Amino acid sequence: MVERGRTLLASRPLGRTNAAVRLGGAIAGVLVVFALVGPSVSPYDPTAQLLEARLEGPSLAHPLGTDALGRDIATRLAYGARVSLALAVAATLVRLVIGTTVGLLAATGGRLVDTVLMRLVDVQLAFPGLVLALVIAGVLGPSLRNVVIALSLVGWASYARVVRGSVLSIRERPFVRSAKLHGTPWHRLVRRHLLPHLVSPVLVLATLNVGTVVLAVAGLSYLGLGAQPPTPEWGTMIANGRNYLRAAPWIVTAPGVAIMLTVISFNLLGDGLRDALDPDHLEDRQRRRT
């Protein structure tokens, strides 16, 4: 009975984990398909103005209504999904590369290199991320490229800390020490023995970061530092519709719900992956199999 109870307790977190991964992955998959297929099947131009159809509510012709310039909200939402998701993935990849490189150098480059790089990480983390991104984007000027640069420069420090901590624990294991004793070159040691063990924590952090970056991109665009009219982007769509909250709330509701679903989906996916890839859960799986 005791063993059966332990098995049930061990299986419940995995059940919740699988549900979170499935739900988050399903929502994220729908958003990706919507971004890829939506613009192709829509009969409307996302930037064409039809003033005679301005501020129309949801209908068969316009499922999500039209904005103040008569543009179809659903079409602009689909094009905006492409922009927002592409920017989020690009910024996350840049963060990942910079942070992983800094973390590896800090953990394997000696005490002086570690001290210098980690003090740089501490300085970066001392500033609120969105505020620092706002300053950088304001200095560089409003554009989508500058938004990616700003968000990349303020988000890599968390990757550096995670990678450094993981490498410091991995390098003390017997197989790494044995590789060092056999004279394995540094680049081969990193590629064959360190990087494979970094995939799990970095993947989880990157998945959680995508939703955060989508929200940050929308915030910067809302303030006029990201996508510029008439480019369809979720943040600019909310900014364009803020003066019509009472007369035409659907202008703001559609992109707001899209942002909310994106953040929720990637948070669920990241939390589920973190639990599924946790060593304790992996040991439980092996114990149940044997």
Say how many C-beta atoms besides its own lie within 10 A of residue 19's C-beta: 12
Kindly give the interhelix angle for 144-170 and 73-108, rounded to the nearest 10 degrees: 40
Please tell me the distance from the alpha carbon of residue 166 to that of residue 175, in angstroms, as a whole number: 15
pLDDT value at position 228?
A: 86
pLDDT by residue (tens digit) across 11-54?
444 445 578 888 999 999 999 999 999 988 989 999 888 888 89
Contact 75, 65 (CB under 8 A): no
pLDDT value at position 109?
A: 82
Contact 74, 63 (CB under 8 A): yes
Contact 46, 39 (CB under 8 A): yes
Listed in sequence order, the DSSP H helices in the chain are: 2-41, 73-108, 111-125, 129-140, 144-170, 174-181, 186-189, 195-222, 234-241, 250-276, 279-289
From first to last of its 290 residues, the chain has per-residue pLDDT tens of 333 333 433 444 444 557 888 899 999 999 999 999 998 898 999 988 888 889 999 999 899 999 999 999 999 999 999 999 999 999 999 999 999 999 988 988 888 998 999 999 998 888 888 888 999 998 998 888 999 999 998 889 999 999 998 888 877 777 666 666 666 665 666 667 677 778 888 888 999 899 999 999 999 999 989 888 888 999 999 999 999 988 899 999 999 999 999 999 999 998 888 877 765 555 554 555 55
CA 106, 205, 253: angle at the middle one, nearest 5?
A: 140
Say how many C-beta atoms besides its own lie within 10 A of residue 184's C-beta: 15
Please tell me the distance from the alpha carbon of residue 220 to that of residue 216, in angstroms, as a whole number: 6
Phi-psi region of 66 (alpha: psi -120 to 50; beta: other; left: phi over 0): beta
> SS3 of 233, please?
coil
pTM, to two decimals: 0.83
Please tell me the distance from the alpha carbon of residue 242 to that of residue 186, in angstroms, as a whole number: 55
Preceding peptide of 185 cis, ω within 30°: no
